[in-house]
Amino acid sequence: MMLATRILQRGEPDRPWLIWLHGLLGNNNEWRVIAAHCPQWPSLAIDLPGHGDSVAVACRGFDDISAQISATLQMHNIERYWLVGYSLGGRIAMYHACHGQTDGLLGVIVEGGNPGLDSEELRSHRRAQDAAWAERFRHQPIAEVLADWYQQPVFTELSGVHRDALIAARSDNSGPAVADMLQATSLGQQPYLAPQLQQLTVPLMVLCGENDPKFQRLARDAGLPLRTVPLAGHNAHLANPQDFVAELQAFLVNPG
């Protein structure tokens, strides 16, 4: 089954496309504000499996979602593109760049994406953690699970109002579908991508909020090019879209 998409901007016909990949619990609407600030670029936002209008699409793992992205781009006759991914979408973008069908890929922008865990012990521990979350998403009211989900350390910078707004917005998700995607694309299922990312033949940029020290450290430890977005935590494009767009545009114009 093909992934659902939304064209956010038609852009200028001679420019490559920006392909937007949301995070876990998001959908194609997550990038609407950012794409609106990049009107010259044609923009296509993808609903990942188990999310948005792709809620019925199954995913067995990273190879599967990478192939689904390639098939979706072919369906839209997109031959030249940049991948922009947040969190889970960033991890998928990195995997696709390293292991996918990358004809036409011009570069990758990752926001708050983990390049992977470098030992089987760590990956096994993460698979167990994500399996426990998945069990909750399958069997408990999703708003109840999200109330705990957004208490995790990575979301520390969220205000109470912002946390409540995210819980309300994302309670429309299907808990079982989110659970399936969470396990299929667990960080514990992802290979450690840093060596391949360092050797990419296309430009790569990692964006992190200045108040997201964990993901800044992950990027630096993996030897990846890093830029920071001021006044922002893990979800930098939501917290500070203006400065996020400035960094994005600067990289697209001069990725060297």
Kindly list the domain boundaries of the chain, sorted by start residue: 5-118+190-253
Helix (H, G, I), strand (E, B) or coil at 253: helix
Residue type present at position 25: L
Nearest to 88 by CA among 70, 71, 112: 112
Evaluate if pTM is beyond 0.85.
yes
Mean pLDDT computed over 95-113: 97
44-55: pLDDT as tens digits: 999 999 999 999
Give residue 162's pLDDT band: very low, low, confident or very high (50, 70, 90). Answer: confident
Residue type present at position 247: E
Order of strands across the sheet with 5-9? 5-9, 43-46, 17-21, 81-86, 105-111, 204-209, 226-229
Mean model confidence pLDDT for the chain: 96
Give residue 156's pLDDT band: very low, low, confident or very high (50, 70, 90). Answer: confident
Is the domain spanning 5-118+190-253 CATH 1.20.1250.20? The answer is no
CB 43 within 8 A of CB 18: yes
8-53: pLDDT as tens digits: 999 999 999 999 999 999 999 999 999 999 999 999 999 999 999 9
What radius of gyration do the chain's Cα atoms show?
17
Q: Which residues is 104 bridged to in the sheet?
A: none
